[in-house]
Amino acid sequence: MRFRGKSIRRKIVGLLLVPLVSLTSVWALATVVTGSDAKRLLDIAPLIEKVGIPAEHLAQTMQHERRQTMIYLADPRESDSLARLHTKASVTDRAASRLRNAMAVDAVGDKIRADSAANTRMTDVMSGLDGLDDIRRKAEQGTIDRKDAFAAYNELVDPCYDLLLALHAYALDELEIDQEGRAYIGNLRAREALAREDALFASALAAGSMTKDDVRTFSDRVADRKMLYSVNLPLLPVDERERYEKFWAGSDTADLRATEERVISAGTGAADTVNPERWQATASGVLEDLDRLGVESIGRYQERVEPFAARVVVLAAAVAVLGFLVVLVSVVVSFRIGRGLVRDLTRLRRDAHEVSGVRLPAVMRRLAAGEQVDVETEAPRLHYGQDEMGQVGQALNTLQRAAVEAAVKQSDMRRGVSDVFVNLARRSQVLLHRQLSLLDTMERRTDDTDELADLFRLDHLTTRMRRHAEGLVILSGAAPSRQWRKPIQLMDVVRAAVAEVEDYERIEVRRLPRLAVSGPAVADLTHLVAELLENATVFSPPHTAVQVLGERVANGFTLEIHDRGLGMMPEALLDANLRLAETPEFELSDTDRLGLFVVSRLAQRQAGVRVSLQPSPYGGTTAVVFLPASLLTEKPTAALEGGPGEEEEQDRLDGPAGKLAALAQVPVPLAGGSSSQLGMPALDGPVELEAPIGALDGEEPEGLPFRARRRSVRQEGREGGRSTGTPLPAPEQHQQARDDSAGALEATRSEPLSPPRRRAPVLVSDHGRPVGNASRYFPVAGSGERADDPDEGAAEIRSGEPSENLTALPRRVRQASLAPQLKAEQEPRPEGNHRTADQEPEPERDAEEVRSRMASLQRGWQRGRADNGDETGTAGTAPGTTLEGDGR
CB 843 within 8 A of CB 729: yes
- Per-residue pLDDT at 814: 58
Tell me the C-alpha distance between 12 and 111, whole Å.
46
- Per-residue pLDDT at 841: 52
Strand pairing of 516-517 and 632-633?
antiparallel
Tell me the C-alpha distance between 632 and 516, whole Å.
6
CA proximity to 883, closest of 737, 757, 753: 757
- Which CA distances in Å does 6 have to 337, 339, 352, 384? 10, 11, 22, 14
DSSP result, 787-841: ---HHHHHHHHHH-PPPS-TTSPPP--TTTT--HHHHHHSPPPPGGGSPPTTSPP
Q: Please, which residues have CB within 8 angstroms of residue 217's CB and are 6 or more apart in sequence?
A: 150, 200
Element (H, E) at 25: helix 20-47
CB 44 within 8 A of CB 170: yes
Dihedrals phi, psi of 67, to nearest 5 degrees: -65, -45
- Per-residue pLDDT at 626: 95
CB 742 within 8 A of CB 689: no
Show the 3-state SS of 416-444.
HHHHHHHHHHHHHHHHHHHHHHHHHHHHH
Q: Kindly tell me the burial class for residue 631, based on how many C-beta atoms sit within 10 Å of its own C-beta (0-12, 13-18, 19 or more).
A: buried
Tell me the C-alpha distance between 30 and 23, whole Å.
11
For the stretch 266-311, pLDDT in tens is 877 777 778 888 888 888 889 888 888 888 888 787 777 777 777 7
Tell me the C-alpha distance between 768 and 762, whole Å.
9
Radius of gyration (C-alpha) of the chain in whole angstroms: 55
CB 850 within 8 A of CB 812: yes
The CA angle 446-448-452, to the nearest 5 degrees, is: 70
For the stretch 752-798, pLDDT in tens is 333 343 343 443 333 333 444 433 333 333 333 333 343 443 333 33
CB 297 within 8 A of CB 239: no
Tell me the C-alpha distance between 872 and 263, whole Å.
133
Residues in the chain predicted with pLDDT less than 50, given as ranges, are 1, 3, 638-809, 825-839, 872-888
Q: How many CB atoms lie within 10 A of CB 492?
A: 22
Q: Please, what is the average pLDDT of the chain?
A: 72
Domains of the chain, by residue range, sit at 20-325, 482-642, 662-688+707-722+738-786+847-888
pTM assigned to the model? 0.40
Dihedrals phi, psi of 510, to nearest 5 degrees: -75, 150
- Per-residue pLDDT at 166: 83
Q: Where are the alpha helices (DSSP H) in 208-275?
A: 212-232, 238-249, 254-266
Q: What is the CATH number of domain 482-642?
A: 3.30.565.10
For the stretch 30-81, pLDDT in tens is 888 877 777 777 777 777 778 888 888 899 999 999 999 998 988 888 778 8
Dihedrals phi, psi of 564, to nearest 5 degrees: -120, 45
CB 637 within 8 A of CB 516: yes
- Per-residue pLDDT at 507: 93
Strands of 530-594 (E only): list them: 546-553, 556-562
